[in-house]
Amino acid sequence: MKPEDALRHLGGVAMTRKLRARGVSESAIRSAVRRGSIQRVERGVLGLPGADPVLVAAVMSKSLLTCASAASRYGLWLLHKPAEPHYWQSNGRRTEGCTSHRLALSQPRPSEPYVALPDVLLHALFCLPPLEALVMVESAYIRGDITLDYLDRYLLGNRAGQARGVLAKVDRGAGSLLETLARVLFRDVGIRTETQVWIEGIGTVDFLLEGFLIIELDGIAFHLDPRQFKKDRRRDNEAIRKGLLVLRFFYDDVVYEPDKMLRQVREVLLQGPARLWSN
């Protein structure tokens, strides 16, 4: 195998011994370095030109990315980018300026310098605040990449109590990170919350609260396309005609001002369903 091919299979950066284990000879490595098709990042570490610096840093630390730092590698929802890298480290290694994970891995390590998906999620459940862990797990669960039973079998003992509580809130109804956050917020305060509800003449709405309040969420990528804007407002109008109420919230409302959003929702719920004028 060529050194370049081996490095691509290993995520673009790897310890020299990993290439040797794949049958790459030292002479082939030296030739590739002279050609500039691979680089010696430091003693014992090789990388492709332009290799991801996040992965390079992990390999140089003799670590594997995990938890929030590995979320993007698996396309998981992530509420907040980590302030420092999360590494899985073995043999007593500890790197300054990182969050170190030492929970035993449930699956063999993949070729790339980050742990397998189930371990990313397990580490998140033990490490992150509940909502941040929830959105990561739920995004994998909705795609069918993990089962809750698999994760649950590793959540043993008193230390895993919070993690089990997070797992109990995982649902398939969400179509986005925002929907997961809003659903948990509403249900945690006792609001009867239905998700992805089909209403004749309106279509599918994000939430129906207490049977009469429609909640629609416009994500960070929301754009005021004239046709979509008109369609949404006509849906809102039809909802009002049917005696339903409608509130719309944006990304900032859900992520940064959840208390304010919840207060507005409660105020409308207290008013009760709309009363249409009768002829």
Query: Quick one: pLDDT band at residue 64, thresholds 50, 70, 90?
Result: very high
What global pTM score does this model have? Answer: 0.86
Q: For Cα atoms 128, 131, 137, give the angle at the middle one, nearest 5 degrees.
A: 80
End-to-end CA distance of the chain: 81
Segment 131-152 mean pLDDT: 96
Per-residue pLDDT tens over the stretch 166-195? 999 999 878 889 999 999 999 999 999 999
pLDDT of amino acid 275? 57
Per-residue pLDDT tens over the stretch 84-120? 999 998 866 667 789 999 888 999 887 889 999 999 9
pLDDT of amino acid 172? 86
Residue with tokens 């929301």: 222
Between 94 and 148, residue with greater pLDDT? 148
Per-residue pLDDT tens over the stretch 225-244? 667 667 777 888 888 888 89
Provide the CA 26 distance to its chain's centre, in angstroms. Answer: 40
Q: For Cα atoms 208, 248, 76, give the angle at the middle one, nearest 5 degrees.
A: 80
